[in-house]
Structure 1
Amino acid sequence: MLYIAICEDETSQLAAIEDKVRMYLKNNHILAELKAYGRSDLLKYDLQEGKYFDIILSDIEMPGTDGMRLAKEIRGCLPEAILIFVTAYLKYAVDAYELEVFRYIPKSCLDEKLPEALGIAIKRIRSQSDQSYLIQTAARIEKIPLKQIVYIQKDGKNAMIICTDGSVKSVRKSLADVYKELHSEDFVFVERGSIVNIAQIKSIQKEEVLLSNGVRIHASRPRLEEMKERMAAYWSERI
């Protein structure tokens, strides 16, 4: 799941940008949560409250907190967020680069430049997020490196993520949703209620998987062949 914000004070322009972003996501089968802001101060308040975004598209000249001050706020709250300026004011281009803005798109070139910028940005995010799993709730934002995940088990309506340091992270999602969001071939279902990190498997004996932390998990018979094939492929790539 990607999280994208759009900040633009002109209502018609905000709607136009939002429509183009939604169309791009739909055409490319990308799952994302999109939030539109008609005032920059509202986005700033959400950032200060811990709201997370992967990509932020913003105008530069807006009442209240303009885009340049907003960019500094974003860098303070979300240093890794990708910031794209969509504006008619070319005079700010140099300052935008100093604030590590990912792209600078003139409003007159939206149809041409916006899909290209989104494509490159999403590709970069996926290459980074493939290495970690993001948990976002109203109370916290946390990134868990995939290499630190030993296994994930269902517990009622929650998914419990067990890590190499012994800590357990809870996220209120189905295992199927968590599996999709991992974006990694290094994880496999061993049964309906358990996902394991292939790198953390020490052995498979009969219908039991022994993990690096000493935990043994039952594997359903239909899953065993797939697990063995995935393990063989995983380790052959690393030898």
Structure 2
Amino acid sequence: MFQIAMIEDEEHTRQEVERLISREFEKLKVQDITTEIYKTAEEFLEVKKHYDVVISDIDLPGKSGIDLGRILKAEQKDICLVFLTSYAEFAVDSYVLEAYQYILKRDMKERLPAVLQKIYQEKQKESQNFFWIGGVTDQRKLYHKDIICIRKVKGQKYVEFVMVNGAYKERLALHQIFEDLKSPAFIFAGRSYIINIDHVDRITTAAIYLEDGIKIQAGAETIQDVKTQIMEYWRNVE
């Protein structure tokens, strides 16, 4: 299910965006899509629901779209934010927030359908990258993008998958997991960790810091090796 939230206080804009969404996904022959409408940021935040993409006016009553964006980015770094506005001067604020796209309302008909199509295709691609854990009767799908790291559990024959939304233990060898992941975003950090490059926060001379406050102490050789692999990864991505 592809879920869209729209926060817009102007009725005619809401109707126009709904028409554009409906028309675009009908053209793509996509049926598993929902669009939910909110008139204010406060109303949206009360629901506490996850969406694949959030389309928001910037100039809202109460909290602005920019205020809302800051809150959402703090909670979900990779959320797709699409800002709509009548005023070009808001563009700088949206870029600072790393919004997925900034669209002037006068350009909606031309730009919004293409933006939604691109987001949908990217989400579909993401959903195909996952790792199964568990046995025959209890399996769980872990999406690559949500894995922060995989680490050996000291003194046990288990590894722990540290996720953005929890952690799971599995009786598997670390090297086997690495082979099965088949993704350049995952690299070894020493012998006890596989880390997701997309979740590396910073690296010092003695430690690797991941999101969620995870700190991996490492020697100079490991630090240099990790830095080299990260640079190679981003070079290939670009």
Question: Within 5 A, what are the aligned runs for 1:1-239?
Answer: 1-30=1-30, 31-46=32-47, 49=48, 51-131=49-129, 146-149=130-133, 161-162=139-140
- Relative to the length of structure 2, the TM-score reads 0.55
Matched-pair contact (CA < 8 Å) for 2:38–2:44: yes
Q: Quick one: structure 1 residues 81 and 162, their matched pair in 2 at CA, closer, same or farther if it must change by over 3 Å?
A: closer
Secondary structure (helix, strand or coil) at the match of 2:18 reads helix
Structure-1 separation of matches of 2:12 and 2:57: 13
Structure 1, unpaired ranges of 5+: 132-145, 154-159, 167-198, 200-239
The letter of the residue matching 2:17 is I
The letter of the residue matching 1:147 is F
Q: Quick one: structure 1 residues 26 and 161, their matched pair in 2 at CA, closer, same or farther if it must change by over 3 Å?
A: farther
Structure-2 separation of matches of 1:35 and 1:25: 15
The letter of the residue matching 2:139 is I
Structure-2 separation of matches of 1:59 and 1:76: 19
Q: Quick one: structure 1 residues 18 and 148, their matched pair in 2 at CA, closer, same or farther if it must change by over 3 Å?
A: same
Matched-pair contact (CA < 8 Å) for 1:44–1:73: no
Secondary structure (helix, strand or coil) at the match of 1:70 reads helix
Q: Quick one: structure 1 residues 23 and 150, their matched pair in 2 at CA, closer, same or farther if it must change by over 3 Å?
A: farther
Matched-pair contact (CA < 8 Å) for 2:66–2:94: yes
Matched-pair contact (CA < 8 Å) for 2:132–2:139: no
The CA deviation at 1:5 is 0.5
Q: Quick one: structure 1 residues 162 and 54, their matched pair in 2 at CA, closer, same or farther if it must change by over 3 Å?
A: closer
Q: Quick one: structure 1 residues 148 and 35, their matched pair in 2 at CA, closer, same or farther if it must change by over 3 Å?
A: same
Q: Quick one: structure 1 residues 161 and 26, their matched pair in 2 at CA, closer, same or farther if it must change by over 3 Å?
A: farther
Percent sequence identity over aligned pairs: 25
* Aligned-residue CA RMSD (Å): 2.4
The CA deviation at 1:163 is 6.7
